[in-house]
Structure 1
Amino acid sequence: MKKYILFDHDGVLVDTEFWYFRAGERALAEIGVALDKDRYLRDMAQGLGTWTQARAAGVDDATISKQRAARDAYYQEYLRTEAIEIEGVVEALAELSQHVRMAIVTTAKRADFEIIHEKRRIKQFMDFVLVRDDYKLAKPHPEPYLTGLERFGAAKGETLVVEDSSRGLSSAVAAGIDCAVVYNEFTKAQDFSQASHRINTLTELLDII
């Protein structure tokens, strides 16, 4: 029986994965670089991202820095204006909170996370939140989830990670924690063969814990 759940954030609790890609795509288009989605997803699985393709196209560091700032601004614009709710998340968390303690372990920047949760009811169910600023090495390194375990004072065997990406799954596996992968349209083609569980909605976690 699981006593703790460590949730990834983007693509699991809010539907933001596409909009992060779209912001990067928009920023690169301004300098004449087309961001290939399939390569982007392969790069993300390795802990890389948008700027790998920019560098491969010969874009210099100064321009990348400028367009990174543009990407971040576009992303925050989308977070404020686009529909990023995932139906049933709040209800599932309310039910789960009666059985387990929960936290969020995300690669999101603190500023972006705070924008997302200005008017949402997700954080109320969490003991704590770890954002990218709270650890040194990002997913797929195990440090984020090991930090979450330490914060809870939890054993690996009594904890479940919930992810939507192969990068996050690799982080959980490297940390030695069972991982349930929830369906996300944006990442559905990634390799989830190491997942302990595959689910379509968070409600199914009630049958796992």
Structure 2
Amino acid sequence: MLAILLNLLPLFLESSKPSLAKVAPLKAVLFDVDGTLCDSDPLHHIAFREMLQEIGFNGGVPITEDYFAENIAGKHNDDIAKHLFPNDLPRGLKFCEEKEEMFRRLASKQLTPLNGLYKVKKWVEDRGLKRAAVTNAPRPNAELMISKLGLSDFFDVVIIGDECEHAKPHPEPYLKALEVLNVSKDHTFVFEDSVSGIKAGVAAEMPVVGITTRNPEHSLLEAKPTFLIKDYEDPKLWAALEELDKMKA
């Protein structure tokens, strides 16, 4: 029995390796923004923590990274406002607007690209693929981050959850990106770092490469990404991209 299992092991490893083969030939790549293009969550956490502490939220005790990851990261501001101010939604929405202003002040000075971002950018450009940024961030935030990262000319379109009828985790933002780019879900995959974003991509019936920038790996896996990577330098990603190149050849 042991000998049989050992003989089957290489086949199992081959079948379970990260793969994007189902989207060949690849036509487009869709990117989230916060936590996917850049590690912006710490700046969001700082803004929420300081502003919530100022108004005495949680008895004045600063919110933790775990609280931020579970209740705020990757979520739309409408949902965050409902969570933080369940009895006063207008106040919650105004608070979130002011928090975004603070985030933009921080991001304008402290934003850095995710490791390997420009390497994957070149890979996408060299193959002439269509690309879109798809985010729940307000447009001023998204455009600031994309500009600071030098990606304004990279993206064909920026899709904002607020400008759709439904934001992530609903698939509509990703479906809208496919429509605007005029590409099929069968030839497109997604980069995402949050549970809500992965759920949106999966619901849009596309493979999602999850990035473990800040959110717990076990939570991301529950959203059913195709596979997870640490960042854009991860060998798992490049093995999958190499496979796509071989299939095209």
| TM-score, normalization by structure 1 | 0.85
- The count of corresponding residues between Structure 1 and Structure 2 is 206
More helix by share: 2
Residues 119 and 196 (structure 1), Cα distance of their counterparts in 2 relative to 1, 3 Å cut: closer
Aligned to 1:51: 81
Superposed displacement of residue 19, structure 1 = 1.3
Question: 1:57-76 alignment to 2 at 5 Å?
Answer: 60-61=88-89, 63-76=91-104
Q: Deviations over 1:37-93 (max 9, x none)?
A: 43443334794654344325x6x4454344334312211111112243223212320
- Gapped runs of 5+ residues in structure 1? none
Residues 24 and 158 (structure 1), Cα distance of their counterparts in 2 relative to 1, 3 Å cut: same
In the alignment, does 2:235 pair up with 1:196?
A: no
Separation in 2 of the partners of 1:135 and 1:173?
A: 18
In the alignment, does 2:236 pair up with 1:207?
A: no
- Gapped runs of 5+ residues in structure 2? 1-23, 245-249
Question: 1:28-43 alignment to 2 at 5 Å?
Answer: 28-34=52-58, 35-43=63-71
Q: Is the 8 A contact 1:27 1:68 kept in 2?
A: no
Separation in 2 of the partners of 1:10 and 1:134?
A: 17
- Residue from 115, 138, 143 that aligns with 2:172: 143
Superposed displacement of residue 135, structure 1 = 1.4
- Residue from 160, 165, 189 that aligns with 2:194: 165
Residues 69 and 157 (structure 1), Cα distance of their counterparts in 2 relative to 1, 3 Å cut: closer
- Residue from 14, 21, 25 that aligns with 2:38: 14
Q: Deviations over 1:148-175 (max 9, x none)?
A: 1111222211110110111101001111
Residues 170 and 199 (structure 1), Cα distance of their counterparts in 2 relative to 1, 3 Å cut: same
Q: Secondary structure at the match of 1:97?
A: helix
Separation in 2 of the partners of 1:17 and 1:171?
A: 19
Percent of aligned pairs sharing the same letter:
25
Aligned to 2:215: 187
Separation in 2 of the partners of 1:72 and 1:46?
A: 14
